Amino acid sequence: MKTATKKQGKRRGILASGNFIIDRVAIIDRYPPQDDCAAILSTKHANGGAPFNALCDWARMGVPFPIAAAGCVGKDADGEWILAECKRLNIDTKQLHRLPNAQTSYSEILTESGTGRRTIFHHPGANAAFAPKDLKLAESSAKIFFLGFIGLLARMDAADARFGTKGAKLLSEARKAGMITAADVVTDRTGALPGLTKAALPHLDYFFCNEIELEILTGTATRTNGALNKKAIEGAAAELQKLGRGVSVVVHAAEAALALGADGTEVWHGSVKVPSENIVGTNGAGDAFLAGFLAATHEGKTPTECLELGACVAASSLSDSTPSNAVRKLDACLKLGRKFGFRPA
What DSSP string describes 259-321? EE-TTS-EEEEEPB---GGG----TTHHHHHHHHHHHHHHTT--HHHHHHHHHHHHHHHTTSS
What is the value of pTM for the model shown? 0.94
Position 4 pLDDT exceeds 60: no
CA 113 to mean position of chain CA atoms = 24
pLDDT more than 70, % of the chain: 97
Pair type for strands 248-252 and 227-228: unpaired
Position 126 pLDDT exceeds 50: yes
Q: Lowest-pLDDT range, 86-100, 114-128, 322-336?
A: 114-128
Give the CA dihedral 146, 148, 154, 157, nearest 10 degrees: 60
Position 3 pLDDT exceeds 80: no
Position 158 pLDDT exceeds 90: yes
Q: Residues 328-331: contacts with CB within 8 Å, 24+ apart?
A: 328/60, 328/61, 329/60, 329/61, 329/62, 330/61, 330/62, 330/63, 330/295
Average pLDDT of the chain is 95
The mean per-residue pLDDT over the stretch 190-211 comes to: 98
Please give the Cα distance from 63 to 41 (Å, whole number): 34
The mean per-residue pLDDT over the stretch 303-332 comes to: 97
Can you give the pLDDT at residue 2?
Answer: 55
Position 325 pLDDT exceeds 50: yes
- With CA atoms as reference, report the closest residue to 3 among 142, 242, 175, 180: 180
Burial zone of 251 (CB within 10 Å; 0-12 exposed, 13-18 middle, 19+ buried): buried
pLDDT digits (tens, 9 = 90+) for 18-35: 999 999 989 999 999 999
- With CA atoms as reference, report the closest residue to 267 among 305, 214, 323: 305
Per DSSP, the three-state class of 337 is: helix
Can you give the pLDDT at residue 8?
Answer: 55
* Residue 184 and residue 149 in contact, taking contact as beta carbons nearer than 8 Å: yes
Ordered structural domains, the chain, with CATH? 11-340 (3.40.1190.20)
The mean per-residue pLDDT over the stretch 269-292 comes to: 95
Can you give the pLDDT at residue 118?
Answer: 83
What helix, strand, coil percent values describe the chain, rounded to 5?
A: 35, 25, 35
Q: Lowest-pLDDT range, 55-69, 110-124, 134-148?
A: 110-124
